[in-house]
């Protein structure tokens, strides 16, 4: 399998619940290395743009309001099959449908307030990483 990079976000509810360490531990335990990370508060405009693909959905306004309600922790994860691996660690969008032991099953309270974001494919991963980081922000790690 190829070494890939993916974008992960710990959403405002994950920060509020003090889950940064727990979530980083799960990534590192699964050999997903954190090669860039920063904490920030998304502006309305950034959140609108980041979730632009969902602009026609009924939950769009609520989603943007949730994502701007507090700080988020944005990271680039690197590892073999990182995109799919991160999606497996996160679990299904709706915590009621997420497998036990996944982040969303263990900690999320609803389909909206679901603790983490992860890129869903190679193209979105590249685009989302570029949205937050320049190439110089990403640290090379020993193999």
Residues that bind ligand ATP (CB under 6 A): 54, 59, 63, 93, 111-112, 114, 117-118, 120
Closer Cβ to Mg ion, 94 or 120, answer by number: 120
Q: How far is the CB of 10 from Mg ion (least distance, A)?
A: 15
Query: Which residues are identified as catalytic?
Result: 117
Closer of 61 and 139 to Mg ion (Cβ):
61
Degrees to nearest 5, angle at CA 69 with 19 and 45: 120
Q: Of ligand ATP, Mg ion, none, which one sits near residue 111, judging by CB under 5 to 8 A according to partner kind?
A: ligand ATP
Q: How far is the CB of 53 from ligand ATP (least distance, A)?
A: 7
Residue with smaller CB distance to ligand ATP, 28 or 62: 62
Tell me how far CA of residue 91 lies from CA of 66, 81, 104, 117, 142, in angstroms.
20, 16, 6, 10, 29
Closest CA to 30 of 98, 102, 130: 102
Residue with tokens 């399998």: 1
Take residue 30 and report the two structure tokens written for it. Answer: 């699964």
């Amino acid at each position: 399998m190829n070494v890939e990079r993916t974008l992960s976000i710990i959403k405002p509810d994950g920060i509020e619940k003090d889950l940064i360490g727990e979530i980083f531990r799960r990534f590192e335990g699964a050999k997903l290395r954190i090669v860039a990370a920063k904490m920030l508060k998304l502006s309305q405009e950034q959140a609108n743009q980041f979730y632009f693909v969902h602009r026609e959905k009924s939950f769009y306004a609520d989603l943007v309001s949730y994502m701007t309600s507090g700080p988020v922790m944005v990271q680039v994860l690197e590892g073999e099959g990182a995109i799919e691996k991160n999606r497996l660690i996160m679990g299904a969008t709706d915590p009621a449908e997420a497998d036990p032991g996944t982040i969303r099953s263990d900690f999320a309270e609803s389909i909206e307030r679901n603790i983490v974001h992860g890129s869903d494919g190679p193209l979105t991963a590249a685009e989302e990483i570029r949205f937050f980081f320049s190439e110089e922000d990403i640290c090379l790690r020993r193999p």
